[in-house]
C-alpha cells in the first residue's frame, strides 16, 4: 500500500499545509527551527522515518518507518499563553476522534496519551516557545509487533482492527479534527472538555503518580473545568495541572 500524503494534504483545512521529510531526528526539533525563522501557523512536518522521536521527560518513542505516523504541528495561538497547555488535550482528542472514524473505541489517558483498550496507541508532546507551540504526535498505525520494553503496554490500529490502515487517510482525519479542536482551548473549552471526559480512561480508577518528584496515590474523580486532573487522596481532593508517571494501580 502506497500512502498518498501529498494528495491528502491538498484537502487540509486552512491554514494547515504539509512539509515531508524523508528522515528526521525529531519532528518537534526540526519544526521548532523552522518556527524560529518565521514559519507560519499550521505548518505540519511529517517524517517518513523519525530516528530520534521522544515523549515526555525525554523518553524514546518507538517509530518504525512505513508503519507509524510521526509528525508535528506548528501552532501560533491567539489565546493567552497560560492556555496553551490545553493543546495537549485538543490534540489527544483529535487523535481519538480520528481513530474512532476507523472503527475503534479510543480512550484518553490524561494529559497526553491515547489508548485502545488498556494499551497506548499514541503519544502527544506539546512544547511551547515565546510566540508559538509545537504539537508533536506519534501514532502506531500498522505496527504488527513491538520490542520487549513496550510489548505489554503498546498497541496499534492494525492490531486493534486486524487490517492495514492507510496512514495518509488517518493523517488527514487527525488534521481535520485538530483544526476544530484547537480553536476550543479558549472560549469553547467546555465543549472540548466534555468530549475528553467521555473518553477519559482514568476516571474512577486508582492511580499512582509523581508530582514534582513526589509520589502520590489516589482515585481520579475526573477532569476539572480548567483541564486539571482531580485526584482524591487521603489528604483530600487535589487539582493537578501536571503529573508524571501516571499508572493505573493493579493494571
**Distances 101 to 67, 94, 106, 162 between C-alpha atoms, Å:** 19, 11, 10, 15
Whose CA is closest to 72, among 54, 98, 97? Answer: 54
pLDDT, tens digit, for every residue of 29-38?
A: 999 999 999 9
Over range 36-61, report the average pLDDT. 80
Give the whole-number percent of the chain exceeding pLDDT 90.
76
Same domain, 216 and 186: no
Residue 159 sits in a domain whose CATH number is: 3.30.930.10
- The set of cell numbers assigned to 179 is 483544526
pLDDT, tens digit, for every residue of 168-185?
A: 999 999 999 999 999 999
Number of structural domains (the chain) is 2
Same domain, 230 and 187: no
Of 158, 184, 199, the last residue of a domain is 199
Q: In what order do the strands lie in the sheet with 133-140?
A: 17-24, 43-50, 68-75, 133-140, 119-128, 113-116, 106-109
Q: Which pLDDT score is estimated for 205? A: 96
Of 161, 179, 199, the last residue of a domain is 199
pLDDT, tens digit, for every residue of 132-168?
A: 999 999 999 999 888 877 888 899 999 999 999 999 9
Over range 65-72, report the average pLDDT. 88
The segment with the largest mean pLDDT, out of 46-50, 66-70, 201-205, is 201-205
Residue 231 sits in a domain whose CATH number is: 2.30.30.100
Q: What is the DSSP string of 187-243?
A: TTHHHHHHHHHHHBSSTT-EEEEEETTEEEEEEEEEE-TTS-EEEEETTEEEEES--
Same domain, 133 and 191: yes
Q: Which pLDDT score is estimated for 63? A: 66
Burial of 111 (0-12, 13-18, 19+ CB in 10 A): buried
Same domain, 182 and 212: no
Average pLDDT for the chain:
91
Q: Which pLDDT score is estimated for 24? A: 87
The rounded Cα 205 to chain-centroid distance in angstroms is: 21
For residues 156 and 134, give the distance between their C-alpha atoms in angstroms, rounded to a whole number: 24
Report whether pLDDT(55) > 90: no
Same domain, 142 and 19: yes
Range of the domain at 95: 5-199
pLDDT, tens digit, for every residue of 70-128?
A: 999 999 999 999 999 999 999 999 999 999 999 999 999 998 899 999 999 999 999 99
Q: How many residues does the chain have?
A: 251
Q: Which pLDDT score is estimated for 58? A: 47
Same domain, 177 and 80: yes
Q: Which pLDDT score is estimated for 56? A: 53
Give the whole-number percent of the chain exceeding pLDDT 70.
94
4 neighbors 16 (Cβ within 8 angstroms): no
Q: Tell me the pTM.
A: 0.93
Report whether pLDDT(192) > 90: yes
Report whether pLDDT(54) > 90: no
- The set of cell numbers assigned to 224 is 476539572
Of 177, 199, 221, the last residue of a domain is 199
Amino acid at each position: 500500500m502506497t500512502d498518498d500524503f501529498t494528495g491528502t494534504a491538498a484537502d487540509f483545512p486552512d491554514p494547515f499545509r504539509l512539509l515531508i521529510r524523508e528522515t528526521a531526528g525529531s519532528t518537534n526539533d526540526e519544526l521548532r527551527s523552522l518556527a524560529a525563522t518565521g514559519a507560519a501557523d499550521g505548518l505540519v512536518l511529517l517524517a517518513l522515518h523519525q530516528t530520534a522521536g521522544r515523549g515526555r521527560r525525554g523518553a524514546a518513542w518507538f517509530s518504525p518507518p512505513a508503519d507509524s505516523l510521526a509528525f508535528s504541528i506548528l501552532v501560533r495561538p491567539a489565546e493567552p499563553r497560560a492556555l496553551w497547555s490545553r493543546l495537549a488535550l485538543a490534540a489527544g482528542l483529535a487523535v481519538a476522534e480520528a481513530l474512532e472514524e476507523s472503527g475503534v473505541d479510543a480512550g484518553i489517558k490524561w494529559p497526553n496519551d491515547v489508548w485502545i483498550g488498556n494499551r497506548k496507541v499514541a503519544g502527544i508532546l506539546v512544547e511551547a516557545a515565546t510566540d508559538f507551540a509545537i504539537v508533536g504526535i506519534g501514532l502506531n498505525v500498522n505496527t504488527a509487533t513491538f520490542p520487549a520494553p513496550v510489548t505489554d503496554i503498546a498497541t496499534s490500529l492494525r492490531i486493534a482492527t486486524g487490517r492495514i490502515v492507510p496512514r495518509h487517510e488517518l493523517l488527514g482525519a487527525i488534521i481535520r479534527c485538530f483544526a476544530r479542536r484547537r480553536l476550543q482551548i479558549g472560549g469553547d473549552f467546555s465543549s472540548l472538555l466534555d468530549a475528553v471526559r467521555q473518553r477519559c480512561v482514568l476516571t474512577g480508577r486508582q492511580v499512582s503518580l509523581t508530582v514534582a518528584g513526589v509520589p502520590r496515590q489516589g482515585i481520579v474523580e475526573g477532569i476539572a473545568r480548567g483541564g486539571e486532573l482531580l485526584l482524591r487522596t487521603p489528604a483530600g481532593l487535589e487539582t493537578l495541572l501536571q503529573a508524571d508517571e501516571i499508572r493505573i494501580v493493579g493494571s
